[in-house]
């Protein structure tokens, strides 16, 4: 049976179109996961809940969230909190063997605090601090760039708690209230 060259090209083009559409959708999902649009508006609460729900659905890890409503942060801070949570959840899935994780985001008068806990196997903290992986190094640098600090509590068979503390001067309302723009220059309000 002879096939017509035009039909073969049409079938090949149809196949390429399907693959291109699938690739485009995968790229859209990837870019959304890298920078969810809700973070542009400082909506960290909904972004973190969505991230935890997506990870739980994809992996079967039970994730509990306790996120104070109304935390209003600049988009760079929201992105840092999101990325740190994302990295910690990836580490939990990849290394801990945990069945359960908890993500807690709270606001005090002086700090925004993020705690991520898992009930996994833990690790030897001294060894990890001597030779930290890229993930822990990136987390530490992100938090440090905002004037915050990171602490890790862990031990073999005890699970892991990652605790971040970031000063409140990074909150959007404090930032906007303390800065005014005059004649193209920033000036701190008294």
Give the domain extent around 29.
1-34
- Cα–chain center distance at 147: 18
The reply to whether 3 and 43 lie within a common domain is no
For the chain, the average pLDDT equals: 78
Q: What is the pLDDT of residue 2?
A: 63
The reply to whether 96 and 12 lie within a common domain is no
- Cα–chain center distance at 81: 6
Whichever domain contains 161, its CATH number is 3.30.565.10
The reply to whether 29 and 56 lie within a common domain is no
At residue 52, does pLDDT exceed 50? yes
Give the least confident one: 90-99, 147-156, 165-174: 165-174
Mean pLDDT of 129-150: 83
The reply to whether 13 and 55 lie within a common domain is no
The reply to whether 14 and 91 lie within a common domain is no
The reply to whether 124 and 147 lie within a common domain is yes
At residue 39, does pLDDT exceed 90? no
The reply to whether 44 and 23 lie within a common domain is no
Domain tally, the chain: 2
| Cβ neighbourhood burial of 138 (10 Å; 0-12, 13-18, 19+) | middle
Give the least confident one: 13-22, 61-70, 106-115: 13-22
Structure tokens at 45: 């609460």
Top pLDDT among 122 and 126 is at 122
Q: What is the pLDDT of residue 165?
A: 95
What are the pLDDT digits (tens) for 169-188? Answer: 755 444 444 333 333 444 44
Confidence class for position 36, pLDDT limits 50, 70, 90: low
At residue 35, does pLDDT exceed 70? no
The reply to whether 130 and 53 lie within a common domain is yes
CA distances from 53 to 8, 62, 64 (A): 44, 9, 9
Q: Using CA atoms, how far apart are residues 65 and 149, in angstroms rounded to an integer?
A: 21
Mean pLDDT of 158-175: 77
The reply to whether 53 and 28 lie within a common domain is no
CB 118 within 8 A of CB 96: yes
| Cβ neighbourhood burial of 175 (10 Å; 0-12, 13-18, 19+) | middle
Q: Using CA atoms, how far apart are residues 7 and 4, in angstroms rounded to an integer?
A: 5
Q: What is the pLDDT of residue 139?
A: 86
What are the pLDDT digits (tens) for 63-84? Answer: 999 999 888 887 788 888 999 9
């Amino acid at each position: 049976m002879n096939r017509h060259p035009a039909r073969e090209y049409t079938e090949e083009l149809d196949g390429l179109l399907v693959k291109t559409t699938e690739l485009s959708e995968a790229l859209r999902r990837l870019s959304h996961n890298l920078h969810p649009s809700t973070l542009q508006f400082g909506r960290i609460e909904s972004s973190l809940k969505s991230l935890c729900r997506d990870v739980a659905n994809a992996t079967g890890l039970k994730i509990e969230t306790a996120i104070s409503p109304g935390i209003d942060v600049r988009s760079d801070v929201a992105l840092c909190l999101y990325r740190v949570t994302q990295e910690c959840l990836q580490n939990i899935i990849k290394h801990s063997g945990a069945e359960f994780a908890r993500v807690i985001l709270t606001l005090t008068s002086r700090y925004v605090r993020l705690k991520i806990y898992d009930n996994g196997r833990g690790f030897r903290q001294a060894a990890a601090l001597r030779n930290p992986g890229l993930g822990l190094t990136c987390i530490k640098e992100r938090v440090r760039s905002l004037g915050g600090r990171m602490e890790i509590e862990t031990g073999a068979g005890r699970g892991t708690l990652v605790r971040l503390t970031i000063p409140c001067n990074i909150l959007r309302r404090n930032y906007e209230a303390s800065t005014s723009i005059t004649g193209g220059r920033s000036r701190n309000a008294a």
